[in-house]
Amino acid sequence: MGTSISVRFPLGRYHGTAWDGGANTSAAEWPPSPWRILRALVATWYARWPDLPAETVDRILATLGTPDAYWTPPTRTGTTRHYMPGVHHTTAASGNTSQVIDVFLAISPDAALRIHWAADLADDDRATFGRLVELLPYLGRSESVCQASLDARVAAPDSTWWRLGEAGGDDVLKVELLAPSGVPNRAHLEASTVATRRARRMLPIGSHKVNFGTHSMNCDSPIPRPRPTPEPITCLRFELSSSVPLKMRSAVVAADAMHGAIARTLPKWFDADDVAALIGLDPAGGPRGGPHEHLHLFALPDAPSIRQCLPAAEQASSLYVWSPVGIRSEVAGAIQTEIRLLWTPEHLSREMAEQHIFAAGHGDVETMLPNLVGSSNSWVSVTPYLPVRHRKKRETVEDYLADNLRRETGSRHKPAPTTIRPVDSQQQRREIVQYRRRRISEDMSKTRPGVFLRLEFDEAVAGPLMLGQLSHFGYGIFTPA
């Protein structure tokens, strides 16, 4: 019968460098070497089950020894590139870095790597071994998060498996892996790479290279791609990074810069009219009328920090792109992968320093922005509300706001609020004055008046609720009270 385990990689990646490999190597170690597997089990025992007696661990290792066979799922090789700082690198200046190429294998999260030993364990040891395997956090480097378990299926390794000492003709694919020489010795397995190098040894004490061979060509073969979900992507989230953090007072600048980046980028791949509709323009380039179904772009603090009446000095660390009708997956992918930097004209550099943006997630708005979604009779503004039209002579503030909000909620197919109460205090007035209430291309004369509001409705209203001028650029955002 033997003993087998199954290992899945839920993140879809396996990172592992062979013993004699290093930075910038062109291949990942696959299958994982017996030496790596046994060291991982010993490390798991130390870190996650220290109460397990050492003699039990030694007995299990001695019984199992080197695996006899592997079954590997289809994989595809990929690489990432990043820069490692040198000893003279500083954060204030560029340079003194080295580019490192990291090779990994892409694996379907549903596919399992199977590892088989011909040896049988006693019932108690088998149960202990099964629990130890389930505690294994990763296999390979720490990026290779895994879920491992004892395999209840009876393994029958054939020519499609990697088998120890497999010989054959030209059709046999072979790989050389590091394995214990004889019975595994825990002291040898625990030796660090540094200690081995200092001893001027090419291989760890108690190890040698063994050959595995297979007639299967699963390596670098196509892996199943996940089927696209029918639900549209309604919200994208990006993290902002800069030498000078963005403040809420200038959040409209970041939103407007993102709008410009999308307008410049998407027409390279998609129909110009479709892009215009997405960003709120008609085919002639003017503002698009009708319902507010085009993109809303806004910078906010991290979701747990979003609250009512945000101060102008609050740090805006995330940038959101939201569409009430959804964004096609290929369009969302282009926005996430092609836009990496937000910049402004030099005269606005004090309001917003150059911002690097990193895609941090996508999905439905309920998941991405739970603070702004709900069903409530009472809503309070997070950012100042900017009325749409000018106030008429002899028109009271109450009538002026009521007329504005009736128009705004009607255009979004929501009922008009029955009670409108400005959150009016000296502190709030100071905050509003600090907010930049105009777009990048507009001068001071275009600065809109603003007010923080609390709205009451006769019936529960579902969010997100974004009203008023520049509501597509981060103003007039409300949250359930």
425 shares its domain with 309: yes
Please report the pLDDT score of residue 222 as a whole number. Answer: 46
Please report the pLDDT score of residue 346 as a whole number. Answer: 85
Please report the pLDDT score of residue 390 as a whole number. Answer: 87
Torsion angle (degrees, nearest 10) of CA 242, 247, 251, 256: -30
Q: Is the pLDDT reported for residue 31 higher than 50?
A: yes
Q: Kindly report, residue by residue over 97-155, the tens digit of the pLDDT.
A: 777 777 889 999 989 999 999 999 999 999 999 999 999 999 988 888 999 999 988 88
34 shares its domain with 95: yes
In-domain check, residue 50: yes
Please report the pLDDT score of residue 217 as a whole number. Answer: 55
303 shares its domain with 441: yes
User: CATH no. for residue 83?
Assistant: 3.30.70
Q: Which of 93-102, 188-197, 273-282 is predicted least confidently?
A: 93-102
Please report the pLDDT score of residue 231 as a whole number. Answer: 62
Q: How many residues does the chain have?
A: 481
170 shares its domain with 245: no
In-domain check, residue 473: yes
- Cα 332 to its chain centre, rounded Å, is 14
Q: DSSP of 352-396, one letter per residue?
A: S--EEEEEEEEE-HHHH-GGG--EEEEEEESS-B--SSPPPTT--
With cut-offs at 50, 70 and 90, classify the pLDDT of residue 170: low
Q: Which residue has the higher pLDDT, 436 or 158?
A: 436
349 shares its domain with 395: yes
3-class DSSP state for residue 413? coil
Please report the pLDDT score of residue 297 as a whole number. Answer: 96
239 shares its domain with 209: no
Highest mean pLDDT among 212-221, 274-283, 435-444: 435-444
Written as six digits, the tokens of 341 are: 């930097």
In-domain check, residue 225: no
Highest mean pLDDT among 155-164, 247-256, 334-343: 247-256
The mean pLDDT of 170-199, rounded to a whole number, is 88
Q: Is the pLDDT reported for residue 228 higher than 70?
A: no
With cut-offs at 50, 70 and 90, classify the pLDDT of residue 22: low
Torsion angle (degrees, nearest 10) of CA 29, 32, 37, 40: 50
Domain carrying residue 195: 3-214
159 shares its domain with 260: no
308 shares its domain with 194: no
In-domain check, residue 433: yes
209 shares its domain with 288: no
Please report the pLDDT score of residue 227 as a whole number. Answer: 47
Cis peptide upstream of residue 387 (ω within 30 degrees of 0): no
Q: Kindly report, residue by residue over 428-473, the tens digit of the pLDDT.
A: 899 999 999 999 999 999 999 999 999 999 999 998 999 999 999 9
Q: Could you tell me the pTM of the whole model?
A: 0.55
With cut-offs at 50, 70 and 90, classify the pLDDT of residue 226: very low
> CA separation (Å) from 215 to 108, 145, 154, 440?
21, 28, 21, 63
- Cα 287 to its chain centre, rounded Å, is 34
Please report the pLDDT score of residue 141 as a whole number. Answer: 84
Q: Specify whether the CB–CB gap between 179 and 93 falls below 8 A.
A: no
The mean pLDDT of 28-48, rounded to a whole number, is 94
Q: DSSP of 36-79, one letter per residue?
A: HHHHHHHHHHHHH-TTS-HHHHHHHHHHH-S--EEE---EEEEE
- Residue 186, judged by CB atoms within 10 A of its CB (0-12, 13-18, 19+), counts as middle
Last residue of a domain, one of 154, 183, 214: 214
Please report the pLDDT score of residue 329 as a whole number. Answer: 84
Q: Kindly report, residue by residue over 283-323, the tens digit of the pLDDT.
A: 777 777 767 888 999 999 987 778 889 999 999 999 999 99
136 shares its domain with 255: no
Residues sharing a CB contact under 8 Å with residue 462, sequence separation 6 or more, in sequence order = 373, 374, 375
Mean pLDDT of the chain: 88
**Rounded distance, CA 392 to CA 414, Å?**
25
Q: What is the percent of the chain where pLDDT is above 90?
A: 54
In-domain check, residue 253: yes
In-domain check, residue 70: yes
With cut-offs at 50, 70 and 90, classify the pLDDT of residue 87: confident
In-domain check, residue 46: yes
Please report the pLDDT score of residue 229 as a whole number. Answer: 47
Angle between helices 123-134 and 34-48 (to 10 degrees): 90
The domain total for the chain is 2
465 shares its domain with 331: yes
